Amino acid sequence: MRILVTGGAGYIGSHTVKLLLARGHDVTVFDNLSMGHKQAVPADRLVVGDLRDADQVDHLLMVNRIEAVIHFAASAFVGESVTNPAKYYQNNLLNSLNLLDRVRRQGVTRFVFSSTCATYGVPETVPITETTPQAPINPYGNTKLAFEKMLADYAPAYNIGFTALRYFNASGAAADGTIGEDHDPETHLIPIVLQAALGRRPHVEIFGTDYPTPDGTCVRDYIHVEDLAAAHLLALEHIRPGAGAFYNVGIGTGYSVREVIRTAEEVTGKRISVKEGTRRAGDPPALVAGADKIRQELGWQPAFTTLRPIVESAWNWHKAHPNGYGK
Ligand SMILES: NC(=O)c1ccc[n+]([C@@H]2O[C@H](COP(=O)([O-])OP(=O)(O)OC[C@H]3O[C@@H](n4cnc5c(N)ncnc54)[C@H](O)[C@@H]3O)[C@@H](O)[C@H]2O)c1
Ligand SMILES: O=c1ccn([C@@H]2O[C@H](COP(=O)(O)OP(=O)(O)O[C@H]3O[C@H](CO)[C@@H](O)[C@H](O)[C@H]3O)[C@@H](O)[C@H]2O)c(=O)[nH]1
């Protein structure tokens, strides 16, 4: 398939591009490199540009005769979305709408969207299923939910088929060590903990120890980035024009911030210094996936089902690339 991958030089995007290429797809990556890395994708696949430029997007769809779009490009930090919501509405909603309108005009009928468990807000029950009411508690989640709704309205009207994958917390790195997670600034827990283990940070701050969870710290479902990539391939294969589907993608087990730190200490053999801090705005206490639907309907099967091998895979990358992709 001829596929346009927006945000394909980013963390999850680059792992998905790697898998798509390995399966023989014809991939064009479109990324403004605001967060992504040109080293994360083959040079001959990368087009540097911004989704704001709808004409460039339109041109790419046309000249490359694109058959499917996987849309990763977004601003994706929960905390930042609370302090700078304008950035999130511009990038995640308006720029995504630009893309979707050009997709519509060019008659592309397959669209896969990176949604998030942040659309559920503070869920009434855990694990979260796809029918759990969506009520985001941060601007990031609001923008992602709004775009889900746009897709649902566009699909039958314009014969676009879509799958929205609601990822839980992406983590880990490629098994062959070639690509991994490198954000600047880094805000995600696992890379921060591993940077502390490498001595590149003095300590890890725990954002809140008074949550209604077993040890008082937030609980998340960490899903390996290669298992996420595999979910995109399955999604592409199952899309039907004019119809949409929503799937949670997680392992179904939650780990607290303290458990992540403890696991990282075991994996790295290093003591990690911890500072107990206050809550970060916009964080729900516990997000754990009920992911039976994607297993049953798409036959998705994660290779990583517990935290430890996920942290090991991330550690292999961070040890080998202490400066990430470098400057
Ligand atoms: N990381 C997670 O745990 C997680 C969980 C749920 C959902 N998601 C979603 O998955 C997607 C990918 O997340 P990630 O962690 O790989 O993030 P990332 O920041 O590593 O990747 C996003 C990529 O999009 C690019 N980009 C951003 N705005 C752009 C624009 N206007 N035009 C062109 N390129 C642009 C960035 O340069 C970057 O390479 C995002 O949509 C995010 O909201 C991530
Ligand atoms: O230095 C840190 C960093 C994080 N945390 C906590 O660790 C947990 C995980 O945080 P983080 O790794 O920043 O991920 P999330 O905030 O859960 O957000 C990620 O996961 C979401 C799905 O849950 C995605 O939608 C987002 O794009 C992605 O950034 C949260 O409870 C944080 O409060 C800390 O205690 N200290």
- pLDDT per residue, tens digit, the chain (327 aa), is 999 999 999 999 999 999 999 999 999 999 999 999 999 999 999 999 999 999 999 999 999 999 999 999 999 999 999 999 999 999 999 999 999 999 999 999 999 999 999 999 999 889 999 999 999 999 999 999 999 999 999 999 999 999 999 999 999 999 999 999 999 999 999 999 999 999 999 999 999 999 999 999 999 999 999 999 999 999 999 999 999 999 999 999 999 999 999 999 999 999 999 999 999 998 999 999 999 999 999 999 999 999 999 999 999 999 999 999 986
Q: Which of ligand 2's atoms lies nearest the C-alpha of 77?
A: 29
Per domain, the residue ranges of the chain are 2-171+222-249, 189-221+252-320
Number of CB atoms found within 10 A of residue 209's CB: 16
Residue 193 CA: nearest ligand 2 atom is: 1
Query: Is the CB of 54 inside a 6 Å radius of any atom of ligand 1?
Result: no
Give the residue from 15, 52, 21, 19 showing the smallest Cα distance to 182.
15
**Does the active-site annotation cover 325?**
no
Burial class (CB in 10 A: 0-12, 13-18, 19+), 170: buried
2-171+222-249 fold: Rossmann fold (3.40.50)
Pocket (CB within 6 angstroms of ligand 2)? 76-78, 116-118, 168-169, 187-189, 192, 204-207, 218, 220, 257, 280, 283, 287
CATH number of 189-221+252-320: 3.90.25.10
Closest protein CA for atom 10 of ligand 1: 114
161 lines ligand 1 (CB under 6 A): no
The token duo for 78 is 């929960």
Q: Which residue has the tokens 């009411």?
A: 133
ipTM over 0.95: yes
Q: Is the CB of 53 under 6 A from ligand 1?
A: no
